[in-house]
Amino acid sequence: MLGKTHLVSSEAIALTAVNYYSQTNHATVPIVITTLLFASVGLGSLLPDVDSRNSELNKTPIFGFIYNHFFINVKHRGFTHTIWNVFLFMGISLLLEPHHFLISVAVFGVSIGILIHIIEDSYSNNKVDIWYPFGSHHSIKHKRLIHYKVGGFTEQSMYVLFWVLLVVSLKNAYLLYLN
């Protein structure tokens, strides 16, 4: 999946979840928390592709430097696309929560963005081995009802649909914070 689709879909899913939480619990999530989650989920949604030369993050000076010094010879969709990264960031978030709540929220958001990214990539024609190095997707043959080609019609359609969901979620969030 292209970076722009990862970003839009992850933001739409996260904001929809925050809105749903606010509406079902009749307690609006503070705007600082919502904004922090929104930004950190966006970062997390792009982070697994730090091992790809063409990723959106690697076009920035900081991540370009990281790629050139640490990931230039790393296989794309290797260890950066594993469930272990989600567990790592969630663990860090849990450790930080009692003393640094806002940092904990940001790290949690990054873990959610990574998780959404991995789930999305698992439906592409290029599979992801989420248990690497303990398993191999080549040994597990499964047929998926839904799959897409990176940059293809299905992904472009998903991009448009997630934009619609994001706009609706932004409108709902605006209405929630108005009350």
Question: Which residues pair with residue 148 across a beta bridge?
Answer: 124
**Is the Cβ–Cβ distance between 114 and 46 less than 8 Å?**
no
Tell me the pLDDT tens digit for each residue of 93-138: 999 999 999 999 999 999 999 999 999 988 888 778 888 777 665 4
Tell me the pLDDT tens digit for each residue of 130-164: 887 776 654 344 566 677 888 889 899 999 999 99
CA distances from 50 to 5, 18, 33, 148 (A): 16, 27, 26, 21
Tell me the pLDDT tens digit for each residue of 9-66: 999 999 999 999 988 888 888 989 999 999 999 999 999 999 888 888 889 999 889 8
pLDDT at residue 51, rounded to an integer = 87
Please give the Cα distance from 96 to 103 (Å, whole number): 7
Please give the Cα distance from 16 to 13 (Å, whole number): 5
